[in-house]
Amino acid sequence: MNNTTTGPVSCSEAPGRAHSVLTEDGGPLAPGHAEAVWRSLSEALDRAGEHGRVPFLVRLSILTALDHLSSEQFTTLITEAEAGLDTRRPPTVER
């Protein structure tokens, strides 16, 4: 089994893999890590409160980028996050 989560590796350990954060043993990111991210971020957002939420997210993004991402990776992730912004689209679902 190679999906033991030991935390994302730094950019220097995973060059050119901006879209697939790896565990230290090179396996895919485990669902348990996604759950931990979801829960810890949710609770931190609640602690930050309505007015502190945006500044908190900015600080968190800067720290994450400085500690774990190259400039190129960070720019790519900004683009991905912008694509997921809250925009209403007309229904185009296949039925």
Positions that interact with another protein (CB under 8 A) = 19, 28-31, 33-35, 38-39, 41-48, 50, 53, 80-81, 83-86, 88-93, 95
Minimum separation from the CB atom of position 83 to another protein (A): 8
Which residues 6+ apart lie within 8 Å of 49 measured at CB?
none
Residue type, 38: W
Partner residues linked to 28 by β-bridges:
22
Minimum separation from the CB atom of position 15 to another protein (A): 20
Nearer to another protein, 16 or 31 (CB): 31
Partner residues linked to 22 by β-bridges:
28
